[in-house]
Amino acid sequence: MRRRLDRIAEPWGDRTPYGPGEPWPVRRDTHLADGLTERDVQRWVPAASLLHSNGDAMDVAVRDGRIVGVRGRVGDRVNRGRLGPKDLFGWQANRSGDRLTAPLVRRGGQLVETDWDTAMGEVVRRSKELLERHGPGSIGFYTSGQLFLEEYYTLAVIARAGIGTGHLDGNTRLCTATAAEALKETFGCDGQPASYRDVDHCDALALFGHNMAETQPVLWMRVLDRLAGAAPPRLLCVDPRPTPVAARAEVHLAPLVGTNVALLNALLHEVVRTGRLDRAFLDAHTVGFDELAANVERCTPRWASAICDVPAREIERAAELLGDARALLSTVLQGVYQSHQATAAAVQVNNLHLLRGMLGRPGCGVLQMNGQPTAQNTRECGADGDLPGFRNWENASHVAELAELWNVEPERIPHHGPPTPAMQIFRYAEQGSIGLLWISGTNPAVSLPELARIRRLLRSEGLFTVVQDIYPTETALLADVVLPAATWAEKTGTFTNADRTVHLCEQAVEPPGGARSDLAILLDYARRMDFRDRDGDPLIGWDDPPSAFAAWQRCSAGRPCDYTGLSYPRLRESGGIQWPCTADAPEGTERLYTDGISWAAPDRCETYGRDLVTGAAVSETEYRALNPHGRAVLKAAEYLPPHEDTDEQYPLQLTTGRTLYHFHTRTKTGRVPQLDAAAPEVWVELSAAEAGRRDLREGDLVEVGTRRGTVRARLRITAIRDGLLFLPFHYGYWDTPGRTGPGPEGGRAANETTVTDWDPVSKQPLYKTAAARLTLLARSAGTPSPAPTTTASAPADPAAVPATTGGPDACADQRTDPGPDPDAGPRPPAADTSDTSDTAEKDIP
């Protein structure tokens, strides 16, 4: 059956119900440019989604050398043909008229166009000067969660073995560093234990701080289809906002922001108290049960209720749901990761699964979710601060393995101390010890906390900033050199999503003007810097995406994230495949830990761990004593109150987050008509009770103020918990008169208000624990807030606000009977996508 739907008004489309253990039915979603049909498409090029972490497989439609639409791939394990609103419409951002097409350099205080030789010459000259005068620690790299695996790995080798700096991190530090740390603390190693297919088998699904409906809409479609089918799973939602997930949950807990550890300790208390434990699993595969049981003994639901402001009976109901499950799947995201005691809270979710033995079986597992399409690659390849291949920087044999692989001396790879996290990199830049900061594919002038400080340091005379991006972002406009990059569908490489599924994303069209792929830019830099190995040969021995992928396969061999069984032709033919994929597991690996814990032994683990409360490092000796046989660690954490509490001057809590229709700082989605129209401007959410106490109304212009700064926005009155404000963090200044910061109209970016504070273990910034005040600036005169009505920002009184719709331009085809070979169609051999620096300037229109 084919139907055409407004996918702004109906973002999750129609239901295709199915029962436990049944395959998820297919549904192919398609959106093409106005006036075109599939018959008009000349080529369909395989890709995966860029604007979230789900890894939805799709084909890019090409006509006359231009992208003209997309369709979901029904044969793929991740999405079975479905696409979310950002997938369906986001491709239009590629052809925005303000794309960067030539390098820029700063002359007389202004950015002016130049050629690649001049721009790269300046970067190389400054790099060599700093290395000679101040050494490797004077250069830092801050990258993204949106490049390709091949690009991250190349960057990691350049930074670690070329420059020799420990200052390399990604903006994944802001969104899912806690996911990696929580997995390492429990299992000794990164890597998601569960699979998206566990949704097909679970009888209980718990979402902790995870607004799946808006952050991974296609995964939410999978959940909705299970809820619509026979024997649906029971649903637990922990979120202070009235999300679409909360609306479908059997139990919804809305705790005070910053109290996640108290709530989770109470849930663990109830599981232990009622004996809902898998003793055989605990004895065979874990250490630390006695310490955990002792820690949560006093953490009754009544105790947690007083801290979290959640009824004790509701906590008991949640514990019963979790404890009675025969197949429990849990997911975790920013409501935990960006809040107080982030890693401590995420680890307690892992503990829940260990206590119940809910691991390594269909429907049983935990997904410490990612927020970006290639965040997993950032971590695997060592572009997030860790060593490539999930190696342990404190383990001399792991460092020696890398040194042998790269043919350099071990001393050349920095491992005298922990790699530098992003917040510390920017602190070093502020202090002057980092003199060159290379920022690729991210926009810290909007996304980092306390933006007034970030703008000051990026403008400082002593810092030379290189920005590699596709648009003139707020950060690019503050740079000394701007390098125009190619983006998704303009280059070739691999993606790995949140459940370890690897996709090949192929070049469909040429990048605009003189833009180059990120890989080509990095290879050019390495060649100009003349990085050499210990035999005098070029350090970087690859020159295109396939050879970079092959180099990464050698690095991953024998490691948890083993890619040796994959290849471009295999991914092109089969679609997404989960790692590890080896000769012994040629079809990939559905879920981890099916036969015990694999990578926690002292000689194999990625880390020896940290104290969850203080962040103090656990020594190798301590870890060997605790876990000599490499079992999962049940790690306890006591609750501590947030660092910034409310008071008379700042009586409200403030949290920030995402909306369905935008991604990060809107650099792409803000340039897509359908998505921008759905959420065109920043807003602030407040409960009806709080609004009544303050005599505030829907659409009033208000100012949110904290000790750091202010934001002006229209008020949306929702069913959010009392005492809490919510601001979406996407909105910056590139499309305002201020361009890089607030103008006369006042602050727009949520991070004008957020605090410079981070989790002691993951070093992830805390965007969800600020104290704020709210001031009325002007009455609405009947103008509603610009917030969408289809999401967690739905109005408390639906009749008071017009419904969010997209109109004819937002309609997409939805087909549930796509035929026996739905992905067939015109697909001639892909064009040459070698994308080396030598060919990057050829054949540019």
Q: What is the dihedral of CA 669, 674, 677, 680, to 10 degrees?
A: -10
Question: Furthest-apart CA pair in the chain: how many Å?
Answer: 74
Q: Which residue has the higher pLDDT, 807 or 229?
A: 229
Mean pLDDT across 384-393: 94
In eight-state DSSP terms, residue 36 is -
Nearest to 142 by CA among 459, 439, 487: 439
Q: Average pLDDT for residues 337-350, to the nearest whole number?
A: 98
Band (pLDDT 50/70/90 cuts) for residue 744 is: confident
* 800 DSSP assignment: G
Helix, coil or strand: residue 535: coil
The model's pTM is 0.96
| Structure confidence at residue 380 (pLDDT) | 97
What is the pLDDT averaged over residues 667-676? 98
Binning pLDDT at 50, 70 and 90, where does residue 745 land? Answer: confident
> What is the bridge-based pairing of β-strands 139-143 and 110-113?
unpaired
Nearest Cα neighbor of 391 from 380, 375, 376 is 380
pLDDT tens-digit profile of 471-520? 999 999 999 999 999 999 999 999 999 999 999 999 999 999 999 999 99
**pLDDT value for 1:** 83
Query: Has residue 646 got a pLDDT over 60?
Result: yes
Residue type, 111: L
pLDDT for the residue numbered 752? 98
- For residue 369, pLDDT over 90 is answered with yes
Name the band, by pLDDT with cuts 50, 70 and 90, for residue 819.
low
> Rounded mean pLDDT of the chain?
95
For the chain, give the percent of residues with pLDDT over 90: 95
Cα gap 616→638, rounded to integer Å: 15
pLDDT number for residue 42: 98
The set of residues, in sequence order, having a beta carbon less than 8 Å from that of 271 and lying 6+ positions away, is: 277, 319, 322, 323, 352, 355, 356
Report pLDDT digits (tens) over 273-293: 999 999 999 999 999 999 999
Say yes or no to pLDDT of 710 above 60. Answer: yes
Task: Indicate the SS3 state at residue 645.
Answer: coil
pLDDT tens digit string along 155-193? Answer: 999 999 999 999 999 999 999 899 999 999 999 999 999
C-alpha distances in Å from residue 421, one per residue of 156, 201, 384, 756, 821: 14, 38, 8, 14, 47
The confidence band for 821, taking pLDDT boundaries of 50, 70 and 90, is: very low
Q: Determine the Cα–Cα distance for residues 621 and 634; give it in Å rounded to an integer.
A: 18
Minimum mean pLDDT range among 258-262, 305-309, 352-356, 414-418: 414-418
Q: What is the mean pLDDT of residues 67-87?
A: 98
- Residue 158 per-residue DSSP state: I
User: Can you say how many angstroms the Cα of residue 536 is from the centroid of all Cα atoms in its chain?
Assistant: 39
Q: How confident is the model at residue 452 (pLDDT cuts 50, 70, 90)?
A: very high
Task: Look at residue 687 and tell me whether its pLDDT is greater than 80.
Answer: yes
Mean pLDDT of 735-752: 93
Check residue 379 and give its pLDDT: 96
Nearest to 309 by CA among 257, 346, 269, 349: 257
Task: Tell whether omega for the bond before 560 is within 30 degrees of 0, i.e. cis.
Answer: no
List the one residue out of 378, 318, 23, 382 whose CA is nearest residue 172. Answer: 378
Percent of the chain topping pLDDT 70: 97
- pLDDT higher than threshold 90 for residue 552: yes
pLDDT value at residue 4:
95
Does residue 617 carry a pLDDT above 80? yes
